[in-house]
Every structure is written in C-alpha cells, then in structure tokens.
Structure 1
Amino acid sequence: MTIQSLAVGRPQVLSSKQDQSITTGIKKTPIKEVELEYAGFQHDDVGNKKNHGGVDRAVCFYPYEHYAMWEREHGQRLPFPAFGENLTVSTMLEADVCIGDVYQIGEAIVEISQGRVPCATINLYTSSSQLLTRFVETGYTGYFGRVLQRGTVTDQSLITLLQRDRTEVSVLHAIQTLFLGEDVSEMERIQSIPSLSEEWKNRFEKKLLKKS
C-alpha cells in the first residue's frame, strides 16, 4: 500500500463552458508534507459543508489503479488528482478495503468510515458528462476515513493496516448495496457496523424505510 499523491486544496470557484459555476474544494494540489488533524488535513477544506466534510469524512482516498480505465473512457488524461481526493493510493481498492479498517499513515491513524457519494462536481471538473453515472455503476467512487490519531503525513509515508474490521464488509460491497442493493437484511447488517458514518447510517435508514 503506497501513496501515489498527497494533495490538499482550499475551495475555489469552478466554472464550465456552459457558464455553470460552483464553489468547491475538488481541485487539490500535491504537497510533500502536511499535518492531519481530526477535522482533516491542514490547508484543505470543502466548498459545500452541508454535503461534504466533517470528522467522518476527514480524509478522502481514491485508488490509483482506476485512473487508467477512466482515462480510456474519457479519451484523454485527467487532471491529477482528478477526483478531489487527498490520498491517491495503490493496492487499496474499494473491494480490498473494509468499513471499519484502521490504517496507520505516517504518524496518523485513520479508520475507514464510508464510501463516497459522488456529485455532479466531478463531471464539471473533468469536463465529462458520464463520469458521475459511471462512478455509481462501477462502485469506483473512493472512500473516506475519520482520524483516530493526529500526525504528520508525507507523500512517502508508509500505509499499514493495523486492524481489519470483524464484519469484513468491503467498501465496494457497501457502495453497491447502498446505490443498487435490494436485500433488506444486508442493508441492516451494513447499517449496524459501529464504525459506519452517521451519514451512511441515515442513508441506509431512509432506504430501509422505503422497503417497509
């Protein structure tokens, strides 16, 4: 497990050719070293605090391996990091990382809290009309973590799995169940994971209510 890019960014106005504009923190700049606090990395923030950010979503991860596929589909190179992630990581696919897994990253310790719910900002930033839909279809959304221990992270920091959650629900399975799943018992099982973020517990609750 290695860091391909460590990146942070302050919110800024992003505009499109269709005169759409939004204040967003999706555009991030690679950095060599930064402090990770409970609320997230220093010099990093989100534009829409209602739907993004917070201690359960302090660190955004995205698997490096997906870039090649997206660039083939997109037909060109994507801005890097393209998806607003703080950490672009190798060998940490959504299928391999579980909700509740605990990792040491440099001096910091992070617990995986939820998958990512992509929004239309990704389409705007990458100039793609289909990327958001394809994120949902594939489940290749990336994921978030909460900070259990603050500390310095560098772009050369080692990533070590300290603890695998006993439920062993992969991020990919949680994403697929939330977006596309119909199995009530499986929704309830995922919702009951203690380390799952409150936002995702609420999302599962709303989906379960529709089934009742």
Structure 2
Amino acid sequence: MPGAADPLERPWRTGYYKSPVAGPVWLGLTNLRGDGQADRKNHGGRDKAVLGYAASHYPDWRAELEMPELAYGAFGENFTITFLDEGNVCLGDVYALGAARLEVSQPRQPCQNITRRWRRPGLMERVRDSGRHGWYLRVLVEGEVEAGQPFELLERPCPEWSIARVFKAMRRRSQDRQEAARLARVAALSESWRQTLGKS
C-alpha cells in the first residue's frame, strides 16, 4: 500500500532480546526471574515457560547470515544448549538443570519477532523451514539455575516423538490426520498445540 509504514520500522514490545546472565537465577513455573514476556498469548505461560535452542545451530546461522558476531541468545532463547537439538530432544523429555526440573512441551513456532529483531525479511520462514527452531519447556520443579550447568536427561517417555517429528506433524496436520491424531494424544504436548490439532 502506498505510504504504508515499513513493518520493520514500527514500534513493538518484546521480550525477545536476551543476554547472558552470570550467577544463579531463579527459574519459576512461568519464567526465569527477570525475563520479560511481552506477548503472553503466544510466548510464556506454564507450557512455554522457557525456550531452549541448540548451540550447534550457531555456526550455520553465522555463515548463512554472514553475521560472524551472532551471539548466543540471538534467537530469543533462554537456554543455548550444547549436545541437544531438534533431532535428539523428544516431547516429554524431563531434564534436571541445577535444582530445577523441566519437561519438553512443544517445538517453538517461529514468529515475526525473529525477522524484526534482526531486520532480515524472510528470516522467520528460514528458521521455520530449516528445522532449527528450538523447543519450549515447562517447569515441573522450581529452583535456581546457572549458566554452564548441564541439562541431564532423567526421563524419556516418548522416544518416538522427536521435536523434529512433532514440528513436521503440526505443519502437515491437514495432509496427515492420523499422525496429527497420534500427536494430540501425547500427554506432554502443550494445550495450545493440542487444541490446534483438534481443529485440523
């Protein structure tokens, strides 16, 4: 539309900007202490308390985006995690992190905040289509956590439901209703994704 403002130029409220924190931080049922969540409908709440992202994705993004300085936290994650990614993290996984216990609840559905943060048109779609999107976790047990602590796998009730498979099932829910129905029956799945699958 002639005269319409560039969407990337419009003011916006977000909790997307993340930076490393030194020392222990309290992880509550809905977020890390001090972590703002501007859009509680699409980000945050019990099922999406924190976002995990694979450290192994950063070399690829730095090369593809020609941004060698791209630092951990660039994709809005609360935890940048080594040795884990969408292929080896499963829905319902329970991890120990410091004194806290967390459960994987769903993949992250990339939104336009990624594009707006880095002012790269099409970046949201690139993150989505690359499969390098991250995953949300709910907090089962609150406690202090600290950078550098390992994510220790305690339980894996659904080894067949990798985050990569869950994301694919959601994207193809209209084409493969049986797979969508199977996913909807997984107890650990977030309520918002279960409702979306129920509408397909």
The answer, yes or no, to whether TM exceeds 0.5 is yes
The Cα offsets for residues 143-199 of structure 1, whole Å up to 9 and x where unpaired, read as 001111111101121221000023530011111121245211111111110010001
Post-superposition Cα deviations, 1:93-150, rounded to whole Å, max 9, x if no partner, equal: 0110000010001110000000001111101111211221112212211000111111
More strand by share: 1
1:78, distance to aligned residue in structure 2 (A)? 2.3
Q: Does 1:183 align with 2:176?
A: yes
Equivalent residue for 2:144, pick from 140, 144, 152: 152
Is 1:51 the equivalent of 2:42? yes
Match of 1:162 among 150, 154, 163: 154
Percent of residue pairs bearing the same amino acid type: 34
Q: How many residues align?
A: 192
Code of the residue aligned with 1:122 in structure 2: it is I
Structure 2 stretches of 5 or more lacking a match?
A: 1-5
Q: Which residue of 2 aligns with 1:26?
A: 16
Q: Whole-Å Cα distance in 1 between the matches of residues 55 and 159 of structure 2?
A: 26
Q: Aligned to 1:200, what secondary structure does the other structure show?
A: helix
Deviations, residues 57-101 of structure 1 (Å, cap 9, x unaligned) = 001100011111112221113243111110000111011000001
Distance 2:87 2:41 in 1: 28
Counterparts of 1:1-212 in structure 2, within 5 Å, are 18-32=8-22, 33-76=24-67, 77-166=69-158, 168-181=160-173, 182-207=175-200
**Structure 1 length as normaliser, TM-score?**
0.85
| Aligned AA (2:38) | G
The runs of at least 4 consecutive aligned structure 1 residues that moved more than 3 Å come to none
TM-score scaled by length of structure 2: 0.90
